[in-house]
A = this chain, B = another copy of it.
Amino acid sequence: MDSIVSAQTFYAGEFRHAIDEKNRITIPSRWRRKNTEEFILLPDSQNQFLLVMSPEEFARMSAAAESNASIAARERRIFLRQLHSRAQHGLADKQGRLVLPEELCRKIGLKGEVALVGGRGRFEIWNVTRWKRADEEETPTYQHVANVIGL
Contacts and interface: CB of A to CB of B under 8 A. Distances in A.
A49 to B, nearest CB: 10
Contacts of A109: none
B5 A59 contact: yes
Contact of A30 (B51, B83, B89): B89
Given A30-B89, A71-B148, A142 B82 contact: yes
Given A14-B86, A87-B13, A63 B141 contact: no
Interface string A38-57: 00100011000001000100
Most B CB within 10 A of own CB, among A80, A135, A141, A144: A141
Interface string A1-21: 110011000111110000000
